[in-house]
Amino acid sequence: MKPVFAVPRRALGGTRLQVSVLGFGTAPLGDLYVQLDDGTAIDTVKRAFELGINLLDTSPLYGNGLAEHRCGAAIRRVPRQDIVVCTKVGRWTDPFRGRGDRSGFVGGLPHQAVVDYSYDGTMRSVEQSLLRLGVDRLDLLLIYDVDVWTHGVDAIDERFREAMTGAYVALDRLRAEGVVAGIGIGVNEAEMCVRFAQAGSFDTMLLAGRYSLLEQPALTKFLPLAQQQGIGVLLGGVFNSGILATGAVSGAKYNYRDAPPEILARVARIESICDAHGVALPTAALHFALGHPAVASVVLGGQSPQEVERNVAALSCDVPAVLWADLKAERLLAAEAPVPLPVAG
């Protein structure tokens, strides 16, 4: 497979994997908020591969398995060794129940996602994912959504215990057997990344929304710990669920809700500095996220081939160093945040 544009690649932690600095997130392929036809969904994944993206991030949660099915159709069109397939555990799908809570997925398969971090539940989830994807091995497996955002304060300690005594043991075994090249977690909170990193041996962690141009809570503890332990960091939610892509417009979303006035005001100030340097806000957000040395890849979703093309094109845009200096001078960016280097550098 010869990509049209060679997206740069970075080593993922201590694994043997080299991942593109831009990964493709497949939540939209599970009919997140909008229903897609199969042709468009599969063409979007194919376009990502053609443009040099080799990291495919999916989950049984996305459309209750629909995203994995669509990914499987796209995967069969390229050499398996050319791509890095990442999926998640913590839920398996029950075909004998209704859809239940769709979590924003308006379409998807008529199956229900069952939260289960046990050893047996994890193995069941992995087996189902292998069948849906049509592969005999996976590259990365992540324990998914063990965070307060998903389960609440009262349940998080028990969920963490379940994950470490069940899912982690299962994934550690699969790693030792060579079924998977690396294991990790995927969560919405930097604090949970620290907690897991201190409790087990993980190769990678996918953190959503906690290290972005808007806010950097992961900068204090988690990212230095990841560097110390050799954990390859994948970042999701670098647009904070929308506002860093749309700007401070009416109805802009921040963490999946309408952005409050103080967030709108802060983003407007950030955007004005970006505009002064001729850089689009989402381009600055993408480049900033790739600037930390612990970060291997930023995972962005897409609903169409054109959307993937725009994301890849943003990688080649120049972002002047003075932009970051101006943001820090205005206290809109943490003073200790690493200044991004050119992506290909």
Which positions are annotated as active-site residues?
Answer: 57, 62, 88
What's the CA gap between 330 and 326, in Å, rounded?
A: 6
Residues 6+ apart with CB under 8 A from 153: none
Rounded to the nearest 10 degrees, the angle between the axes of helix 119-133 and helix 168-176 is 50
CA-based nearest residue to 74, from 315, 316, 308, 297 = 308
Q: What secondary structure letter does DSSP report for 194?
A: H
CA-based nearest residue to 64, from 11, 25, 8, 102 = 102
Q: Is the dihedral of CA 182, 186, 191, 196 positive or negative?
A: negative
Place of tokens 């091995």: 137
DSSP string, 242-279: GHHHH-S-TT-EETTEEPPHHHHHHHHHHHHHHHHTT-
Residues 6+ apart with CB under 8 A from 272: none
CA-based nearest residue to 49, from 17, 88, 6 = 6
Distance of CA 285 to the CA centre of its chain: 15
Residues 6+ apart with CB under 8 A from 32: 62, 63, 104, 105, 106, 301
Token pair listed for 57: 């991030």
CA-based nearest residue to 245, from 274, 223, 216 = 274
